[in-house]
């Protein structure tokens, strides 16, 4: 029955019952986390054999004819550039490798634009205003980078097939202060949406007022399918930009952080030849080379794309039951109450959840008091401000199934209580 159709007396009686269940859960002293998209211990175990692929008998001289144990090869060893080129479906020369985190690469890309500008354009530090478009809900770390540099962020609504492109096209064509847009195009963070062909083509055909406008295409979940036999397909943004006559307009990022070991993977950026050469030139002032031993370790562990696909299928076997458990519990407990909606992703690391307006902060706070830690309400919006206070990011990956069930029970109770309070307040 819809909560809004219940009488005040019925709602108050139900609230009393739910509060009793909530206090009982609080008494368990739980400490469960669904806050960040961290791989579980079971997932980390999948990559443990990678630690044994380098030993005293390894040939450390690769295709570059240089010893990977020493300095040199700033863009990354050929084998590893080819590895990422195969993942992103680009040429190896259009790829530059970085350290363990794509977030660092994205941060440094923004920083270089501030200090040196992009392909001869005015450094952003010398401009009165720099703005970014931010599809919402979105990835909180993207927003943190912008906030650190004092970049003004403009919310762009997300649809199931990608950002509102009418709005994107209008804004970038009219305002030269808009220098970029953040995108997680495949299994988006937090909703798990996949950009349609039309959206990708419209991105590639943008006519920005700023010559140094760039699409920051964070393809973090490009190979993170929950259903490997039915992977989501998305157009190649590098290829589409070339077709549209905008080859320099996109930076594409990805990493192996959730493929092998978070904090010990490899990150990569793909872009046009001009952008890549410019990036390598500026990297030369920062570092002599990144960890080529780790690059070699990865390519020896994944000698072919088939090996990588089989590895990711094992991840899916671990992740899929967790996502299905959360969605099933939400559907069974909240599906016919009219108080919430959620996504059912086919990949990535998150489920997007929308409560009634004005309830998200209360739900997250109540969960924390009962021992279930969620991502802060509002984190999926710039400046941590969800204008409707309704979006919550659910991260099912880290807990065990049993822990996830307990966490979801508490979360659902909190959603029901907060919703009843909101309805009573509005009556």
> By C-alpha distance, which of 327, 332, 339, 418 is closest to 377?
418
Give the mean pLDDT of the chain.
Answer: 97
Give the C-alpha separation, 259 to 311, whole Å. 8
Give the C-alpha separation, 36 to 23, whole Å. 26
Quick one: how far is CA 131 from the chain centroid? Answer: 21
The band of 426, judged by pLDDT with boundaries at 50, 70 and 90, is confident
Name the percent of the chain lying above pLDDT 70. Answer: 100
Report the pLDDT value the prediction gives residue 99, as an integer from 0 to 100. Answer: 94
What is the Rg, in whole angstroms, of the alpha carbon atoms belonging to the chain?
Answer: 23
The pLDDT tens digits for 289-306 are: 999 999 999 999 999 999
> By C-alpha distance, which of 322, 400, 326, 308 is closest to 42?
400
Burial 20-35 (b: 16+ CB within 10 A, else e): eebeebeeeeeebbbb
Domains of the chain and any CATH numbers = 3-43+309-426 (3.90.1150.10), 61-303 (3.40.640.10)
Report the pLDDT value the prediction gives residue 216, as an integer from 0 to 100. Answer: 98
Assess whether pLDDT exceeds 90 at residue 270: yes
> By C-alpha distance, which of 247, 334, 360 is closest to 1?
334
The pLDDT tens digits for 96-155 are: 999 999 999 999 999 999 999 999 999 999 999 999 999 999 999 999 999 999 999 999
Report the pLDDT value the prediction gives residue 1, as an integer from 0 to 100. Answer: 82
The band of 38, judged by pLDDT with boundaries at 50, 70 and 90, is very high
Can you tell me the mean pLDDT for 180-201? 98
Give the C-alpha separation, 310 to 165, whole Å. 36
């Amino acid at each position: 029955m819809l909560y809004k159709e219940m009488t005040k007396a019925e709602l108050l009686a139900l609230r009393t019952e739910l509060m009793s269940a909530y206090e009982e859960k609080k008494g368990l002293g739980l400490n469960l986390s669904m806050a960040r998209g961290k791989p579980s211990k079971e997932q980390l175990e999948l990559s443990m054999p990678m630690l044994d692929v380098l030993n005293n008998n390894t040939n450390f001289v690769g295709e570059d004819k240089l010893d990977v144990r020493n300095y040199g090869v700033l863009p990354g060893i050929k084998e590893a550039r080819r590895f990422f080129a195969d993942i992103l479906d680009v040429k190896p020369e259009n790829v530059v490798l970085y350290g363990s985190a794509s977030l660092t690469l994205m941060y440094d890309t923004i920083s270089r634009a501030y200090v040196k500008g992009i392909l001869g354009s005015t450094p952003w530090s010398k401009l009165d205003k720099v703005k970014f478009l931010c599809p919402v809900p979105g990835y909180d770390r993207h927003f943190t980078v912008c906030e650190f540099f004092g970049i003004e962020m403009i919310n762009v609504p997300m649809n199931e097939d990608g950002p509102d492109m009418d709005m994107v096209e209008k804004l970038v064509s009219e305002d030269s202060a808009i220098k970029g847009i953040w995108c997680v195009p495949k299994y988006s963070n937090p909703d798990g949406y996949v950009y349609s062909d039309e959206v990708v083509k419209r991105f590639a055909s943008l006519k920005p007022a700023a010559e140094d406008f760039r699409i920051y295409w964070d393809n973090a979940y490009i190979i993170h399918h929950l259903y490997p036999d039915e992977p989501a397909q998305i157009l190649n943004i590098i290829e589409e930009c070339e077709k549209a006559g905008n080859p320099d307009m996109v930076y594409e990022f990805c990493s192996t952080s959730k493929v092998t070991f978070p904090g010990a993977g490899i990150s990569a950026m793909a872009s046009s030849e001009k952008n890549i050469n410019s990036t390598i030139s500026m990297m030369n002032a920062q570092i002599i080379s990144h960890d080529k031993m780790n690059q070699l370790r990865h390519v020896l562990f994944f000698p072919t794309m088939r090996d990588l696909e089989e590895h990711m299928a094992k991840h899916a076997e671990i992740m899929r039951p967790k996502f299905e458990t959360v969605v099933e519990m939400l559907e069974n407990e909240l599906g016919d109450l009219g108080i919430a909606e959620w996504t059912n992703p086919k990949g990535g690391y998150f489920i997007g959840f929308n409560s009634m307006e004005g309830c998200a902060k209360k739900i997250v706070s109540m969960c924390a008091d009962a021992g279930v830690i969620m991502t802060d309400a509002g984190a999926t919006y710039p400046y941590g401000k969800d204008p409707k206070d309704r979006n919550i990011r659910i991260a099912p990956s880290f807990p065990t199934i049993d822990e996830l069930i307990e966490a979801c029970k508490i979360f659902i109770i909190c959603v029901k209580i907060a919703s009843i309070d909101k309805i009573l307040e509005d009556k």
